[in-house]
Amino acid sequence: MENNAPETTTKNSMLKNTLLIAKFEIKKMLFNPRGLIALIAFALVWLLILLYPISGASSFLINPDFRGIIEGVFGPNTLSELFKWPVAELAVYWIAALYIFPLFSIFVSADQFATDKARGTFRFLSLRVGRDSLFFGRFIGHMALQCLLLALTVIATILLAITRDMSLLLPAISSGLIVTMNLMIVLLPYTALMAILSLYANSARQATIYAILVWAAMSISIAIINNYLPIISELKWALPGAQISLMINTQGLQTFMYAPVALIQAAVLLFLGKMYINRSAL
């Protein structure tokens, strides 16, 4: 390695190392017994969700009487978009995934840094890669893994739909892509916030507890602020997942309406995380 590496070389090796860290992170999670057990647990949970709520509820969704009941209970326009999904299975999957995946993300990405930092493993890495590469590499690795699992569940839902009606293949694929993209965007700020909490915590469990505290404290504070100072009620958008309840009643490309919220949140959180890792002791 040259003493005074040109700027481009440094940047290239930073990008290369970021991707190497991301790749290793995926390998680490998929190809070791603990990772495999987590994966099997995840697959089983989703198998149950697919077999019962999704497969069962979609048959209700197609039924016009059920639509009448839902509109009667929640109001005519609250869940109206749900019935516009061309594939009923994906409509139910959409609701389930919007709530389950963020929760799953909190657990899966809680150990982006905590354990390695506590046992000093980063000390072996930080003399070989920059802290930025380490931070973004781990983040990308955890996002990639979640996207992989997300894609698998979407494919399983599509398969479920086409076993009912083969003609749904094309609309299912296009809706599936929209759902996957949307959920990936939804997960970005969750994973970014967990990266920061994981850097601060000494274990994955501690990071998860911090996450619960952060969400609870922020929700309560936002509710209080909304009550007393409605003028700054827009502060609610600062909390990752603030847009989820509104996303339920969207469909097709309309689902991307709230994507900027998650993207901005993720960008801010990643910037804060980058600053934090560069200032923290390893």
Partner 1 sequence: MNLVNCKGLSKSYGDKKALNQVDITLHAGSPIALVGPNGAGKTTLFSLLCGYIAPSAGEVNLLGHKPGSPELLGRIASLPQDATLDPNLDVLTQLSFFATLQGYSDKNAKAEAMRVLNLVDLASSAKQKPSSLSHGMAKRVAIAQALMGTPELVLLDEPTAGLDPANAKKIRELVKSLSTNTTFIISSHNLDELEKLCDQVLYLEHGQLRQSVSMNESQHDDYITLTMQHCEPSALIEAVLNLADISSIEERQSNQFLIKHNSAEVYGIEIALLNLFKQRNWQYKALLKGRTLEEKLFS
Catalog residues that contact partner 1 under the rule CB under 8 A.
1, 3-5, 10, 13-14, 17, 20-21, 24, 28, 32-34, 116, 119-121, 123-131, 279, 281-282
Residue 202 is given by DSSP the state S
| Pair 230, 154: CB distance under 8 Å | no
Closer residue to partner 1, CB minimum distance, 14 or 152:
14
* C-beta closer to partner 1: residue 81 or 116: 116
Q: Which is nearer to partner 1, 84 or 119 (CB)?
A: 119
CB of 104 to partner 1, least distance (A): 21
- In the complex, minimum distance from the CB of residue 127 to partner 1, in angstroms, rounded to a whole number: 6
CB of 278 to partner 1, least distance (A): 8
Largest CA distance in the chain: 74
- Closest contact distance (angstroms) between CB of 20 and partner 1 is 6
Quick one: 127 or 231, whose CB is closer to partner 1? 127
CA dist 118 and 125 (Å) reads 14
**Cβ-contact 182, 259 below 8 angstroms:** yes
What does the alpha-carbon distance between residue 23 and residue 27 come to, in Å, rounded to a whole number?
Answer: 6
Helix, strand, coil % (nearest 5) of the chain? 85, 0, 15
> Are 82 and 95 within 8 A, CB to CB?
yes
Shortest gap between Cβ of 60 and partner 1 (angstroms)?
A: 44
Least distance from partner 1 to the Cβ atom of residue 145, Å: 16
Identity of the residue, 53 or 130, whose beta carbon is nearer to partner 1 in the bound complex: 130
Q: Which residue lies nearer to partner 1 by CB, 71 or 132?
A: 132
Alpha carbons 270 and 193: distance in angstroms, whole number? 8
* 79 Cβ contact list (under 8 Å, min separation 6): 70, 71, 248, 249
| Rounded CA separation 135/266 (Å) | 14
